Amino acid sequence: MSNIRIYKDLPALSRAAAALLLHHSRQAAAAQRRFRLALSGGDTPRPLYELLSLPPYRDDIPWSNLDVFWSDERWVNPHSIYSNQGMAEKLLLQRVPLPRSQIHPIPYGDDIHAAADRYEELLQQFFPPVDTPSFDFLLLGLGSDGHTASLFPHAGLTADTPGWVRPVFLDDPDLNRITLTPAILNRAAVIVFLVAGSGKAPILRHLLDPETNSELPARWILPTQGGAVHWLIDEAAASLLPEDLKHSSS
């Protein structure tokens, strides 16, 4: 199932994402299931993370029931301003009652291949390598080139890349990344894309138009375990979408 919801602006979109996260995290707690959350980087989720660190979300989300992971990470020290972990720690994780042992960042160190392998081993402890759901809630962004997580066009990875965690080498070595692959991302139960700003309008139109035939990495996100995809979009990013797509649910 996939649905598109459009909000006035980024604050409204962030409130909707927070409410969705609250709903699913409480549902898991009520069923005595742990809630495995994967965070994304980029600027778009920043207001969401700040919102979650404040009442009512800080008080109402069952934090002790959560395990937190990342969809991807930039190959930088976690204290760098470019670190996805660093950003989430500062805006959210340090401000809520979430035990450190339940925060599972993508490792940083000397060797990017070894770090990717270590994260894959960690994920295998949480998600058996059989076809069952992985993350209960996966946040993703969309780059204006059609990338999501750190799955970039023409960067060597594909929809079918084997394994769950891979290094990504971009032209500028300062921008190298580690990303989860579609093989594990697509096992998520709920996938939420956050897309805001007029700069995203052309790529969003291209991506969501069923008539276009392209190999954009964001198109590789197709749940395999009956998961749902929610596109939470602000009006500026949705401005080029055809009217019928703006209200679509399939």
Q: Does 9 bind ligand 6PG (CB under 6 A)?
A: no
Rounded CA separation 155/169 (Å):
7
- Say if residues 53 and 84 touch (Cβ distance below 8 Å): no
Contact letters for ligand 6PG, residues 69-108 (x by CB under 6 A): --xx-x---------x------------------------
Q: Are 179 and 216 in contact (CB under 8 A)?
A: no
Compute φ and ψ for 94, nearest 5 degrees.
Answer: -75, -10
By CB under 6 A, name the one of 86, 105, 141, 227 that touches ligand 6PG.
141
Stretch that binds ligand 6PG, among 41-49, 93-101, 215-223, 230-238 (CB under 6 A): 41-49
Task: Give the type of residue at 56.
Answer: P
134 scored as a contact of ligand 6PG (CB under 6 A)? no
Q: Which residue has the tokens 């797509």?
A: 245
Q: Is 167 in the site for ligand 6PG (CB under 6 A)?
A: no
Tokens representing residue 25 in the block: 């995290």
Task: Output 4 or 221, the one with its CB closest to ligand 6PG.
Answer: 221
Which residue minimizes CB distance to ligand 6PG?
Answer: 141
| Chain position carrying tokens 């649905």 | 3
**55: buried, middle or exposed (CB in 10 Å: 19+, 13-18, 0-12)?**
exposed
Name the one range near ligand 6PG by CB under 6 A: 26-34, 60-68, 115-123, 140-148: 140-148
Per CB under 6 A, the list member of 6, 21, 38, 40 interacting with ligand 6PG is: 40
Task: Output the CA angle 146-165-69, nearest 5 degrees.
Answer: 85
Shortest reach from residue 244's CB to ligand 6PG, in Å: 26
Give the binding site for ligand 6PG (CB under 6 A). 40-44, 71-72, 74, 84, 141-143, 147-149
